[in-house]
Amino acid sequence: MTTDQETVNQPEAMSFRAEVQQVLHILAHSLYTDREIFLRELISNASDALHRLQFEMLTNQNVRDADAELAIWVEVDKEARTITVRDTGAGMTREEMIAHLGTIAQSSARAFVQQAKAQNANSGEIIGQFGVGFYSVFMVADKVSVVSRSFHPDAEAAIWEATGGDSFTVGVAEREGRGTSITLHLKEDAAEFANDWKLEQIIKRHSDFVSFPIYSDERQVNQQKALWRRAPREVEAAQYKSLYQQMTMDYEEPLLRLHISTDAPIDLHSILFVPAKRERGIIERRIEGKIKLYSRKVLIQDEAKDLLPNYFRFIEGVVDSEDLPLNVSREGVQSNVGANIQSPIQQRIRKTLTGRLHRELNDLAEKEPEKFAAFWKEFGVFIKEGVASDFEHREELTKLLRFNSTTSGEALITLADYKGRIVEGQKEIYYVMAGSLEAAGNSPHLDPFGARKIEVLLFSDLMDGFMLSGLREFEGLKLRNVDEADIELPGEVDAPASILSDAEFSSLSESFTAALGDQVKEIRASKVLRDSPVRLVSDDDGPGREMQRIQQMLGRENEPQPRVMELNTSHPLIAALAHRAAADAADPIVAAAAEQLYDNALLLEGLHQNPAGMVPRIQRLLEAAARREK
């Protein structure tokens, strides 16, 4: 027979709520990647318990074991295949165990289940995100025992045990000291974790900067003092470089670093790096950077994409804040779990980091132009993207823009530089779009501008078309494409005299129209061309090349829209073709030349869909020239 006292001491069995059972089933049977994060979660919980005790002791010294070291221990028993994580934190009563370990917020559990089922989820991210961190132990353990004693002097020790099924037990335990011990009985396929060296590596990766010492095999294995938690004046250049190399495996010196360490108006500690090259790393070849997100020096997201605007995705770094809403149950970082909505704290972090980066880059441009030129060469395309996509910060980003122009040579200029060099009577900023800088510099559209000594910006990136969707004017000057038909330029310049009669031009126009068909809207004599034989212009109701370039950038097929072809009636080539057309309206050489001149114009502007298709025609024209055909 059992005595009444023995009956009282018997563990009490309780059932997990249905949503907890679903979470446990997924963790035990479905998520196999990043299993090591169970240790991160246990250490994080232990750290939270130690922080809570510190806070309590600020006003209350009547706690159990007031002089005990605040620390975390990780112990391994290889023979028994167990891992024990223990701490001297606030501890838990029996009732707190039931509340904290037996339930999950229903909304968090539901969102976790949905995301785990909906995609090939990264275990480490969704576990930290949805507040189910403690239960990650069931990815590696088939039994878990938690023994805890609260800091309250009169509290009794209690034990909580579960095997990952539908229920758990809670009972009386023996424990003298304050704090919590969690023992994991590892599954056979998780035996690799019953190894001191393995666990130390996991601690170094995920929990190296926890505020309290972490002991393993009687040695402290964590650094505690995070580099980003120090004042910038305390950190040496070599330490920054070492951190950057650890994060990126890139052994080239970063181009720029930004160190923020402040506790007001928001607790924020961050080190951000701008790499020297767009593609970095000898071992890991990648273009986009990663921002590691910590809370209380515990890694909670290995890649926090939403802490910076997308156009800053080349930035590498780390962000840490104690203001993030993470409690002992590891509640999600996002305020609207499962939806891409940031919490107010994250929004403030993003705003602070973005603003500082804008200021630092503008300072770099002003104080170290050569260094900024190196930045622009690698990352200018991202800044152009930002001008198009970030209305709030467009002014700051616009200051960073750099361009080649018809008068700058190899040097790059700003829009402010351009404005300072405009000619008398000029009220617009002119640009030309082409497939390359060389093609832009040889564009037939430049003829009237060169004659008037008006500077023109040279755009040759696909991203330029996208940028222009957000950049329509600068300090009162409208940006205008030089291919537009109705541009009125300041200053008078005499146009070269035509060497064609009206009849000759009419015959040539008819031949060109027959050859080009609906590729052109109209053939007409140019009033502005001087050195180039033809140009294609956009009339008032025709779509601009900016939209075509955006279509190309998105990888969509986009046939050139019909435009007006202008012929330079003072050019020797046009005159020779006109003479041939007058002699024979169906002359195949005239038709081939018309098609080639049209394709040449598209090629210069970077809009030709199939340059290889020109080869047979070019060969026919060369054969005719070789025969001196008349």
Which parts of the chain sit beneath pLDDT 70?
1-9, 17-20, 22-23, 25-33, 103-132, 280-287, 325-342, 540-550, 552-558, 629-630
Pairing of strands 219-220, 256-262: unpaired
CA distances from 109 to 38, 44, 120 (A): 17, 19, 17
| Residue 476 and residue 392 share a domain | no
Pairing of strands 520-525, 563-567: parallel
Pairing of strands 179-186, 141-149: antiparallel
Count structural domains, the chain. 3
| Residue 272 and residue 389 share a domain | yes
Which among 174, 199, 220 is the end of a domain? Answer: 220
| Residue 254 and residue 360 share a domain | yes
* Cβ–Cβ under 8 Å, residues 180 and 60: no
* DSSP H or E stretch at residue 524: strand 520-525
CA distances from 547 to 506, 520, 559, 583 (A): 33, 18, 12, 41
In three-state secondary structure terms, 318 is strand
Which among 187, 220, 253 is the end of a domain? Answer: 220
| Residue 237 and residue 148 share a domain | no
| Structural tokens at position 351 | 């705003």
Is pTM beyond 0.75? Reply is: no
In three-state secondary structure terms, 86 is strand
Give dist(CA 71, CA 505) in Å, integer: 92
Max CA separation in the chain (angstroms): 125
| Residue 79 and residue 117 share a domain | yes
| CATH code of the domain in which 478 resides | 3.40.50.11260
| Residue 123 and residue 110 share a domain | yes
* Cβ–Cβ under 8 Å, residues 330 and 105: no
| CATH code of the domain in which 292 resides | 3.30.230.80
| CATH code of the domain in which 31 resides | 3.30.565.10
pLDDT score of 339: 42
Q: By residue range, what is the domain housing residue 612?
A: 404-627
| Residue 389 and residue 353 share a domain | yes
| Structural tokens at position 296 | 């209380």
Give dist(CA 349, CA 343) in Å, integer: 10
| Residue 232 and residue 184 share a domain | no
| Residue 433 and residue 580 share a domain | yes
Which among 161, 185, 220 is the end of a domain? Answer: 220
| Residue 146 and residue 247 share a domain | no
| Residue 352 and residue 324 share a domain | yes
| Residue 547 and residue 414 share a domain | yes
pLDDT in tens, 532-588: 999 999 875 544 556 666 676 565 656 777 889 999 999 999 999 999 999 998 999
